[in-house]
Structures are given as structure tokens and as C-alpha cells.
Amino acid sequence: MLAAWRELQTLAGLILIAAFFYWLLRARKCNPAVFVFLLFALITYLPISGIVALNATAAEHWIYLPSAFLFLAVALEIAALTEESALRRSTRLRQGYGGQAITFVATSLFVMWVVFLGARAFVRTFDWKDQRTFLERTIAHGGDSARMLINLGGLELTEGKLEDAALHLHAALRKKPSQPLAIINLAAVALKQNDFKQARELATRATQMPVVDADAYQLLAVLENKESGKIDLMRMRLASRTGPSNWSIEKRYVQLLDETGSTAAAINELLDCLQRQWYRADSWKLLSDLYAKLGHSTQAAEALAQAHAYDVHLATSKLEN
């Protein structure tokens, strides 16, 4: 049943695409203004149509611009039809009431469509009650993409429901066997389940995937600590220098340097990070703590002041804790 519904969706999509291009070609001759807006709608839709890879598998929040051009084209078509209907109305004695009937039917269909869309939008608004509701209802209504399954698996992992998390993540991998986020999350699940062999295999595989390689190195460091009790500073250093800057990984590396007695090295590492990312209050607060630990009260106070300057909502009591 679901497969048949998917086929109908695909068929409907092909029909809509064909109708759009027919409208575009027709408007080129009949209404140049409509043609321009339709062309702009097509141009602005192409980047999010799946032709090129983006940082998200669904870019629904970028649909507004092409929609605006499409609605402008529709508005111009309605205006043209209204004007044509007025001309026909002036000759209704010769044509009878055919023009009025067509106008009435078109208006009725338009009103029904608007009411339907409004009602559907109202009903689906409740999907946003919370993250779980959104994910589960989206999946239940046919949106069971790898992305949605990974998000639901991540939510289950956060809530400690490891078996459910693994179930959703494996389902995501069946759809996309090399999905990096599914693999790294499965490695995290295996680690929490103390399945160290599986966790190592998955994390090692993830180190070859640029999207999650830094997280994979960090997970391997955590795995080493759980297995042997050793702190793998070299692996954490590698994680902090892999891929784009990741403050959570960088912060953990700095904290590990401090915990292993290399507080001065931790300060130098953090100062290097602050040269590139100076705007984060949390970084300055950590620097203040490290300076205070070494007895450098003046530098600690200066770093604390910077932390407060970059986060006006950060209370002094919170900074001092």
C-alpha cells in the first residue's frame, strides 16, 4: 500500500513538472510578465531541487523565494483572467451565461483549495509540539527518510533508549548504507552498551568520512579511556585539528590537557583557539579558570571580564561558579 502511494506521489510530481513547463512555454507567448516570474521561480528552485548536494537533505526553509515568484505569476494570471472575464461579461447577451459559469466554478475551486491548505496547515501545526512528535508524525506520514530516522535515533540516544536508537539508525543505513551520521551515532550506541568491538569498528570506519571524522577520533579516545583507563591526548589532539573548528571537541581537549597536569599547554591551546574564535564567552570563562588555577589573578580577571562582555546575559554568579 505504501509503495503504491509512493508511485502515485511520483506520478503526481511528474504531472506537476510537465504542467509547470507547459505553463512556462505558454506564458512566453501569451503573458511575458508571467513568464519572467515563472523563470525566476525555476532559477531560485534549482539550487534546492536536489540537482546539487547541500548541507541538508531537505531545504524546505529555502522554498519561500521560489514560492514568492510562483505566487506572483499566479496573481498575474488571475488578474488576466478577471480582465478577460469582464470583457466577456460585456457580451453576455450574445454568449449567454457561459462566462459567468466559468468564473463561478474557477472562483469556487480556488476558495476550496485555499480552505483546504489552511485546514491542513492548522492540523500539521501540532506536529511541532516537541521534537519527538515532529519526527514520529513526519515518519508516519511517509517522511521516513534517512535524515528523519537518524534524527529520531539521535533523540532516542539522548534519552538513553539505546535499543530504539539502534533500530532507527539501522533503518537509516538500509536506506543509505554509507550515511556518516548514522554510523557515528551507532558507534556511540555501541559504546554506551559496552560493545567495544562494534564501537571501534564503526568509529574507525567513520574516521574516513569527512563529515564526522573529528567526532570519530574523539569517540575512539573515549573508547580507549573506557577500555584501559588511559587518556588518549594524541587522539584528542587529532580530533581537535580535524575538519572545521568544533568548540565542543576543542574544549574537551583543553580540559584533558589541564587534567593531566599540562595547564600551561592548555592555556596556550586555548589562546590559539581564541585568536580564531574570540567571540565565545565560554572560551574566555575557561581561560579565566585556567589562569586562576596557576595563580595568575590579573589575567584571570581580564579573561573573566571578556567572558562577561561577550555574553551580557551571563550573570556574575554564573561566571564565578
Give the pLDDT score at 95: 46
Round to whole Å and give the CA distance between 157 and 188: 8
The residue count for the chain: 321
- Find how far residue 125's CA is from the centre of its chain: 19
pLDDT over threshold 90, residue 48 = no
Q: Confidence band (pLDDT; 50, 70, 90) for 132?
A: very high
Per-residue pLDDT reduced to its tens digit, 228-263: 999 999 999 999 999 888 999 999 999 999 999 999
pLDDT of residue 90: 62
User: Mean pLDDT throughout 75-92?
Assistant: 74
Q: What mean pLDDT do residues 148-168 have?
A: 95
Mean per-residue pLDDT of the chain: 87
CA distance 213 to 242: 7
Residue-wise pLDDT for 114-124, tens only, equals 899 889 889 88
Short-list 175, 164, 178, 174, CA closest to 136: 164
Arithmetic mean of pLDDT, 274-298: 94
Rounded-to-10 torsion of CA 214, 187, 170, 152 = -70
Average pLDDT, integer, range 131-159:
92
Residue 287 has pLDDT above 80, yes or no: yes
Q: What percentage of the chain has pLDDT greater than the value 70? A: 87
Residue 93 pLDDT level (bands cut at 50, 70, 90): very low
pLDDT computed for residue 293 by the predictor: 95
- pLDDT for residue 317: 46
pTM over 0.75: no
When mean pLDDT is compared across 106-110, 124-128, 294-298, the lowest value belongs to 106-110
Kindly indicate the confidence band of residue 69, based on its pLDDT and cuts at 50, 70 and 90.
very high
Asked whether residue 145 carries a pLDDT value surpassing 80, the answer given is: yes
**Residue boundaries of the structural domains of the chain:** 144-232, 245-321
> What is the architecture, at CATH level 2, of domain 245-321?
Alpha Horseshoe (1.25)
Q: What band does 65 get if pLDDT is binned at 50, 70 and 90?
A: confident
- pLDDT higher at 205 or 75: 205
Residue 173 and residue 205: Cα distance in Å, rounded? Answer: 14
Which residues have a Cβ under 8 Å from the Cβ of 133 and sit 6 or more positions away? 126, 127
Q: Is CATH 1.25.40.10 correct for 144-232?
A: yes
* List of E strands, the chain: none
Which pLDDT belongs to residue 92? 55
State the pLDDT confidence band at 53, using cuts at 50, 70 and 90.
low
Do 144-232 and 245-321 share a fold?
yes
Which of the two residues, 235 and 10, has the higher pLDDT score?
A: 235
